[in-house]
Amino acid sequence: MNRNILGKSYDEWVLECPIIRDITELNPVLWLNPGKASCEEVLPGLPYSIKDIEEAEARWNRFAPLLERLFPETAESRGIIESNMMSIPNTKAMMEQRYGVPIKGKLFLKCDNYLPVAGSIKARGGIYEVLKHAEELVLKSGMLGLEDNYAVLAEERFREFFSRHHLAVGSTGNLGMSIGIMGSALGFRVTVHMSSDAKEWKKGLLRSRGVEVIEYATDYSKAVEEGRKQSLQNPMSYFIDDENSIDLFMGYSAAAFRLKGQLEAAGVAVDRQNPLYVYLPCGVGGAPGGICFGLKNVFGDSVRCFFVEPTHSPCMLLGMVTGLHEGVSVGDFGIDNVTEADGLAVGRPSGLVGRLLGKLIDGIYTIDDNELYRLLVMVKDGEDVKVEPSAAAGLPGPFRVSDKIPDSCRSNVTHLAWATGGLFVPGDMYESFYEKGKKLLNL
Ligand X SMILES: Cc1ncc(COP(=O)(O)O)c(C=O)c1O
Stretch that binds ligand X, among 13-21, 133-141, 341-349, 368-376 (CB under 6 A): 341-349
Shorter beta-carbon distance to ligand X: residue 10 or 424: 424
Stretch that binds ligand X, among 23-31, 67-75, 192-200, 279-287 (CB under 6 A): 279-287
In the complex, what is the shortest distance from the CB of residue 287 to ligand X, in angstroms, rounded to a whole number?
3
Q: Tell me: does residue 127 bind ligand X (CB under 6 A).
A: no
Shorter beta-carbon distance to ligand X: residue 122 or 436: 122
Q: Tell me: does residue 121 bind ligand X (CB under 6 A).
A: yes
- Can you tell me whether residue 212 is helix, strand or coil? strand
Interaxial angle between packed helices 50-70 and 246-253, expressed in degrees from 0 to 180 and rounded to the nearest 10: 80
Out of 343, 354, 363, 394, name the contact with ligand X by CB under 6 A: 343
In the complex, what is the shortest distance from the CB of residue 390 to ligand X, in angstroms, rounded to a whole number?
4
In the complex, what is the shortest distance from the CB of residue 123 to ligand X, in angstroms, rounded to a whole number?
10
Q: CA-CA distances (angstroms) from residue 30 to 343, 350, 363?
A: 21, 20, 7
CA distance 313 to 326: 14
Out of 283, 354, 363, 398, name the contact with ligand X by CB under 6 A: 283
- Cβ distance 81 to 111 under 8 Å? no
Residue 160, judged by CB atoms within 10 A of its CB (0-12, 13-18, 19+), counts as exposed
Shorter beta-carbon distance to ligand X: residue 64 or 213: 213
Stretch that binds ligand X, among 28-36, 46-54, 146-154, 385-393 (CB under 6 A): 385-393
Out of 116, 170, 275, 288, name the contact with ligand X by CB under 6 A: 288
Q: Tell me: does residue 421 bind ligand X (CB under 6 A).
A: yes
Out of 88, 107, 175, 395, name the contact with ligand X by CB under 6 A: 175
Shorter beta-carbon distance to ligand X: residue 302 or 311: 311
Query: Applying CB under 6 A, what is the total number of residues that bind ligand X?
Result: 22
CA distance 397 to 357: 19
CA distance 346 to 336: 10
Q: CA-CA distances (angstroms) from residue 197 to 218, 233, 337?
A: 8, 26, 10
Out of 43, 70, 179, 282, name the contact with ligand X by CB under 6 A: 282
Q: Tell me: does residue 287 bind ligand X (CB under 6 A).
A: yes
Question: For 142-254, where are the alpha helices, taking DSSP H only?
Answer: 156-162, 174-186, 200-208, 220-232, 246-253
- Can you tell me whether residue 277 is helix, strand or coil? strand
Shorter beta-carbon distance to ligand X: residue 10 or 114: 114
| Angle formed at CA 130 by CA 125 and CA 131, multiple of 5 degrees | 100
Sequential DSSP letters for 369-405? HHHHHHHHHHHHHHH-----GGGGTTTTHHHHHGGGS
Q: Tell me: does residue 126 bind ligand X (CB under 6 A).
A: no
Q: Tell me: does residue 304 bind ligand X (CB under 6 A).
A: no
In the complex, what is the shortest distance from the CB of residue 147 to ligand X, in angstroms, rounded to a whole number?
33
DSSP run (H or E) holding 167: strand 166-171
For 240, list phi and psi in degrees, rounded to 5: -95, 115
Positions in the binding site for ligand X (CB under 6 A):
120-122, 172, 174-175, 281-288, 343-344, 346, 388, 390-391, 420-421
